[in-house]
Amino acid sequence: MILSEFIRQNHLAIVNEWESFAGSLLPAAGGMGAVRLRDHAEDILAAIVLDLEAPQGAAEQRAKSKGHGQEHRMEAVGKAHAALRIEDGFKLGQLVGEYRALRASVLHLFERAAGKGDGCDLQQITRFNEALDEALVEATNRYMVVMNRTSDQFLAVLGHDLRNPLGAIMMSAEVISRHASAEDAKAAALILTSAGRMNRMVNDLLDLTRTRLGSGIPIAPSPMDLGPLCRDTLAELQAFHPESRLQFSSTGDLKGTWDLDRLAQVLSNLVGNALQHGQRNGLIEVIGKGEGDEILIEVQNQGNQIPPALLANIFEPMVRKANGSEDKGSTSLGLGLHIAREIVLAHGGTVHVESTPARTTFGVRLPRHSTAVSPGAKPVKETDQHDAEGGIVVADLAATAN
């Protein structure tokens, strides 16, 4: 028997088994009626039948077995199924389990029919598995996209809402420090320092969500000189790390058009990274070079070589934390290098890193004159703007982080 014809004739029995399995996925399936549990099974089966009966050459079959087929008939049903199950509260493992149950139901019933003398079309079984796998991949991908975007939006809203109470704490601590006794002023200074650290973490979270939600980090370029900025930033860091050796040198013209505050953030993050991971009390050099229409800033530190495997993704969020190389006593979120890269990209520049057993160098190359890019210049792909069929993801929440 041909599998596609078998599915047509026995789709009710297959859907019944699907419904029975889906109903066991509690608490997600609790309270769901039979129609909602089986709502998408028939769509998936219908798409599989169309896929099985479509002409397919040997080259297309090989490509499809590796996930590179041209038709992608199962893409839409996989995404739609994921959207529905997210709305119903299914976990990823439960979503995958439904596909496993559907595969088992079809093949079990088909095997039983073949045992009665109807024969078995092995080629269609292979194509059935490929079609179901394609739907499964699309469903799991869409599930993760929606969950990740929802998480990013939660962080954006949380970071935005924390700004006001943190601001109130810092302002109150400043007032107390001006009118309090020496002992109370010391306590107020501690509150102010801690709140300032929390404020920097909140700002890092907001910058992270801007990049992940597709809006990018906004910049406001104006004429400036990188020399004074580098010296001022190093002086500020030196005050917090008096035991460290920080040195600035420059060649050429360092004047241009950039966002002063954002470039101060880039330099602070790169030097902070060197302070945290470089050789203790080792020399940290910041070098500015004016090179025609471009500016190069390098931050060099002595210390252990960064493993090559880590270098490839070192500008991604929390890479060193995931790698286990972050200091246990650090209060950093592990976002500094990622945010520095995004700020440089917003300026139209590039970042690079080189590491040897003797020295690690982070380099920033900027056009001499950067222009502001509107927050919407890096739009999210159209297919990801309205995930979960109407409400799970609100695309314009990225504006909340502004």
Burial of 106 by CB count in 10 Å (0-12 exposed, 13-18 middle, 19+ buried)?
A: buried
Which H or E run includes 152? helix 122-179
On whether both 10 and 143 belong to a single domain, the answer is yes
Q: Give residue for tokens 């996925």.
A: 25
The set of residues, in sequence order, having a beta carbon less than 8 Å from that of 31 and lying 6+ positions away, is none
Q: For residue 64, what are the domain limits? A: 3-148
pLDDT of residue 393: 37
Query: Domain holding 258: CATH number?
Result: 3.30.565.10
pLDDT band at 258, cuts 50/70/90?
very high
pLDDT digits (tens, 9 = 90+) for 48-79: 888 888 776 666 656 655 555 555 667 777 88
* Peptide bond before residue 27 is cis, with ω within 30 degrees of 0: yes
On whether both 278 and 353 belong to a single domain, the answer is yes
On whether both 226 and 366 belong to a single domain, the answer is yes
pLDDT of residue 66: 56
Instruction: Note the pTM of the prediction, 2 decimals.
Output: 0.56
Handedness of CA 230, 234, 235, 237 (dihedral sign): positive
pLDDT digits (tens, 9 = 90+) for 157-208: 666 667 677 778 888 888 888 888 888 888 888 888 788 778 777 777 777 7
On whether both 308 and 396 belong to a single domain, the answer is no
Q: What distance in Å separates the CA atoms of residue 394 and residue 213, rounded to the nearest whole number? A: 11
Domain boundary among 127, 148, 169: 148
pLDDT of residue 222: 94
**8 A C-beta contact, residue 336 and residue 265:** no
Q: What distance in Å separates the CA atoms of residue 380 and residue 284, rounded to the nearest whole number? A: 39
On whether both 19 and 61 belong to a single domain, the answer is yes
On whether both 337 and 242 belong to a single domain, the answer is yes
On whether both 178 and 295 belong to a single domain, the answer is no
On whether both 339 and 228 belong to a single domain, the answer is yes
Task: Give alpha helix (H) positions in 213-307.
Answer: 226-240, 260-277
On whether both 181 and 262 belong to a single domain, the answer is no
Tell me how many domains the chain contains. 3
Q: What distance in Å separates the CA atoms of residue 34 and residue 283, rounded to the nearest whole number? A: 69
Domain boundary among 99, 127, 148: 148
Query: Domain holding 78: CATH number?
Result: 1.10.490.70
On whether both 189 and 294 belong to a single domain, the answer is no
pLDDT band at 387, cuts 50/70/90?
very low
**From residue 70, how far is each of 44, 66, 135, 141, 204 by CA, in Å?**
19, 11, 14, 18, 41
Task: Write down the mean pLDDT value for the chain.
Answer: 76
Q: What distance in Å separates the CA atoms of residue 368 and residue 292, rounded to the nearest whole number? A: 8
- Which residue from 282, 247, 268 is spatially nearest to 332, judged by alpha carbons? 268
Q: What distance in Å separates the CA atoms of residue 276 and residue 263, rounded to the nearest whole number? A: 20
Q: Give residue for tokens 């900025």.
A: 229
The Cβ of residue 103 has, within 10 Å, a number of other Cβ atoms equal to 15
Residue 86 has pLDDT above 50, yes or no: yes
Residue 224 has pLDDT above 90, yes or no: yes
Which H or E run includes 366? strand 360-367
On whether both 124 and 194 belong to a single domain, the answer is no
Residue 350 has pLDDT above 60, yes or no: yes
On whether both 190 and 101 belong to a single domain, the answer is no
